[in-house]
């Protein structure tokens, strides 16, 4: 089996390694067990048979509400063997956003970790399609009045007696439906093919074929995000090992890198800054890490590399496109995104989609040169798909410039979104939560500068006549509404009125231009217990 060819898809890749060197460890968990390639192949195909026994077939969607763990990898690969589609759910979702996501997936079957079943039951009356929950992560006793059918996942998989022949996915089959962060409105469901994952696995990996079977990746990111899933696929293609951690922890980072012998990692969002801002230690460079990808690059990358004895590079990509470009090792411009891969054609255009001259800033638009290497559209949203591909180019919403040598550089976001510590946050969704707070008349969510890099979430609010907005009361309300923690505003500014256009639209550019967080209500100062790591399971610092 040529499991390293151009269509080397994850289920077949793992099967190939299982046959050739099955004793090699593929996935392991920090503080948990490890699983070889042979064990992964066996477990994944047993999951495939278990799903088939419940009626899952090619083209079906199965929702998954599970943490970053070995079993999540098995479930994904198992669905792939059936040519069915994994639809993972952000594990911080609760309440209305969870209900909307599960309902949008139109899946009758959900694999759910026992710790999050109560959250699903809280919104069960809003789920018209869901019928069955497969439980994982331990025993669970269904409530007496449950309207859903519960199946013990461990018993289901252990009860598989025979593994029937399985062909596995084709390049054009859907590997996942991944919910974007809703940077221009409500989160959309991007349909990603297995070919896109194969490409992404190659493109996210270090340049110059530096990833080998002897490497180990430290991966503290979710498996509902392409940062986690592309890298897992990339490690499999190299026949290497991936070390999974549910959340990023600065205090544990170097200890675990050393303990698990990790040679490669990915710094997403502000995580590199968290590590860099720790007090220097004499043994900083005494670690096995040799390569790191970093999105975005630190401004003081050269000092970071020297201090920790490694080399770094960056990539540019997004859920809908995969990884479009990659830098060489040790780029010196923090805005660098490198050169595009041959599977993509890039342009930088003005507001009318006309290409701008070299060196001028415009919006980056992209289109593939090879079939099935980008998303196939937004599930259930054909109009949004058409809008995204205006004039036959995908519009990224990101401001870029290109130099005379063909190198691309990120400048700023064109679209109205906020990026906080690796999460793209929809201002529309933030505003929808805030507007549920009874005293609020109007709200605008905007990015505010962060001392950690990227953005902090800021909301500007206007109170209803005769009422007042108490920022502390607003935050208490948002927590009670189960707003995902990464969306919680840090800064609140109460205004007498919003700046508006003649047609009544709020002028967010005016709010951004006049932002001075020193005069804003600051959650980190006023509610440090909520802001500190550990509250509502944030990435620890």
Q: Is residue 5 part of a domain?
A: no
Domain count for the chain, please give it: 2
CA 225 to CA 472: how far, in whole Å? 32
CA 390 to CA 345: how far, in whole Å? 15
- The residue among 188, 220, 239 that closes a domain is 188
Domain that includes residue 159, residue range: 38-188
Whether the bond into 296 is cis, omega within 30 of 0: yes
State residue 384's pLDDT score. Answer: 92
Largest Cα span, the chain:
73
The CATH code of the domain that includes 170 is: 3.40.50.980
Q: Is residue 170 part of a domain?
A: yes
Helix (H) or strand (E) holding 119, with range, is: helix 117-122
Q: Is residue 488 part of a domain?
A: yes
pLDDT along the chain (541 residues), means of 10: 57 96 97 96 98 97 97 98 97 90 95 97 95 96 89 97 93 95 62 97 94 97 92 97 94 97 92 87 96 92 97 96 97 94 97 95 95 96 94 93 95 73 77 90 89 86 92 95 91 92 68 88 89 45 36
- The residue among 155, 188, 221 that closes a domain is 188
Q: Give me the torsion for CA of 475, 480, 486, 487, rounded to 10°.
A: -60
Q: For residue 146, what are the contacts with CB-CB under 8 A and spacing of at least 6?
A: 121
Q: Are 189 and 176 in contact (CB under 8 A)?
A: no
Radius of gyration, alpha carbons of the chain: 23
Q: For residue 382, what are the contacts with CB-CB under 8 A and spacing of at least 6?
A: none
Q: Are 187 and 426 in contact (CB under 8 A)?
A: yes
Q: Is residue 387 part of a domain?
A: no
Q: Is residue 389 part of a domain?
A: no
Residue 496 buriedness (CB in 10 A; 0-12 / 13-18 / 19+) = exposed
The CATH code of the domain that includes 433 is: 3.30.300.30
Q: Looking up tokens 């992964």, which residue turns up? A: 40
Q: Are 113 and 88 in contact (CB under 8 A)?
A: no
Residue 158 buriedness (CB in 10 A; 0-12 / 13-18 / 19+) = exposed
- The residue among 163, 188, 213 that closes a domain is 188
Q: Looking up tokens 């309300």, which residue turns up? A: 477
How many beta carbons lie within 10 A of that of residue 383, not counting itself? 8
Which tokens hold the place of 52?
């088939």
φ, ψ at 179 (rounded to 5°): -80, 120
Q: Looking up tokens 């349909």, which residue turns up? A: 191
Residue-wise burial string across 501-536, b where 16 or more C-beta atoms lie within 10 A, e elsewhere? eeeeebebeebeeebebeebbbbeeebeebbeeeee
Partners of 244 in the beta sheet? 29, 219
How many beta carbons lie within 10 A of that of residue 277, not counting itself? 12
Q: Is residue 351 part of a domain?
A: no
Q: Is residue 42 part of a domain?
A: yes
CA 386 to CA 382: how far, in whole Å? 6
State residue 23's pLDDT score. Answer: 97
Helix (H) or strand (E) holding 301, with range, is: helix 301-308
Q: Is residue 72 part of a domain?
A: yes
3-state secondary structure of 174: strand
**Among candidates 523, 522, 496, which has minimal Cα distance to 442?**
496
How many beta carbons lie within 10 A of that of residue 403, not counting itself? 12
State residue 465's pLDDT score. Answer: 86
């Amino acid at each position: 089996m040529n499991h390293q060819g151009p269509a080397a898809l994850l289920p077949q890749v793992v099967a190939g390694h299982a046959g050739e060197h099955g004793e090699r460890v593929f996935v392991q968990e920090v503080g948990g067990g490890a699983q070889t390639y042979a064990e992964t192949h066996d477990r994944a195909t047993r999951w495939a048979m278990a799903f088939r026994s419940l009626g899952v077939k090619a083209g079906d969607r199965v929702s998954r509400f599970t943490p970053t763990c070995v079993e999540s990898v098995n479930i994904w690969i198992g669905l792939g063997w059936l040519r069915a589609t994994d639809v993972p759910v952000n594990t911080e979702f609760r309440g209305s956003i969870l209900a909307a996501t599960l309902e949008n997936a139109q899946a009758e079957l959900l694999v759910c970790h026992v710790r999050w079943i109560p959250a699903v039951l809280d919104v069960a009356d809003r789920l018209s399609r869901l019928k069955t929950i497969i439980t994982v992560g331990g025993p669970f006793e269904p409530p007496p009045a449950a309207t859903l059918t519960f199946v013990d996942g461990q018993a289901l998989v252990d009860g598989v007696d025979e593994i029937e022949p399985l062909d596995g996915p084709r390049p054009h089959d859907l590997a996942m439906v991944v919910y974007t962060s809703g940077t221009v409105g409500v989160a959309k469901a991007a349909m990603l093919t297995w070919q896109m994952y194969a490409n992404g696995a190659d493109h996210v990996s270090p340049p110059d074929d530096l990833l080998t079977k002897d490497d180990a990746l430290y991966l503290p990111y979710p498996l509902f995000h392409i940062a986690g899933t592309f890298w897992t696929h990339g490690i499999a293609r190299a026949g290497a090992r991936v070390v999974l951690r549910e959340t990023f922890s600065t205090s544990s980072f170097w200890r675990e890198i050393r303990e698990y012998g990790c040679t490669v990692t990915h710094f997403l969002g502000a995580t590199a800054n968290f590590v860099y801002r720790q007090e220097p230690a004499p043994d900083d460079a005494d670690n096995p890490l040799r390569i790191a990808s970093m999105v975005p690059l630190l401004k003081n990358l050269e000092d970071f590399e020297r201090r920790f004895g490694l080399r770094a590079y960056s990539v540019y990509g997004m859920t809908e496109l995969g990884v479009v470009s990659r830098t060489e090792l040790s780029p010196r411009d923090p805005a660098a995104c490198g050169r595009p891969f041959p599977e993509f054609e890039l342009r930088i255009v003005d507001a009318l989609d006309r290409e701008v001259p070299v060196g001028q800033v415009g919006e980056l638009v992209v289109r593939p040169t090879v079939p099935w290497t980008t998303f196939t559209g937004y599930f259930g949203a054909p109009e949004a798909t058409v809008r995204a591909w205006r004039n036959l180019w995908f519009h990224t919403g990101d401001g870029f410039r290109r130099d005379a040598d063909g190198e691309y550089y990120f400048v700023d976001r064109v679209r109205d979104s906020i990026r906080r510590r690796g999460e793209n946050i929809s201002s529309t969704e933030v505003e929808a939560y805030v507007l549920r707070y009874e005293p609020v008349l109007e709200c605008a969510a905007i990015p505010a500068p962060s001392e950690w890099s990227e953005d902090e979430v800021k909301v500007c609010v206007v109170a209803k006549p005769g009422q007042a907005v108490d920022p502390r009361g607003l935050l208490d309300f948002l927590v009670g509404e189960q707003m995902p923690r990464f969306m919680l505003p840090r800064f609140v500014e109460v205004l007498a009125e919003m700046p508006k256009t003649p047609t009544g639209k709020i002028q967010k550019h005016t709010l951004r231009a006049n932002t001075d967080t020193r005069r804003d209500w600051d959650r980190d100062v006023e509610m440090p217990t909520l802001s500190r790591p550990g509250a509502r399971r944030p990435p620890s610092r």
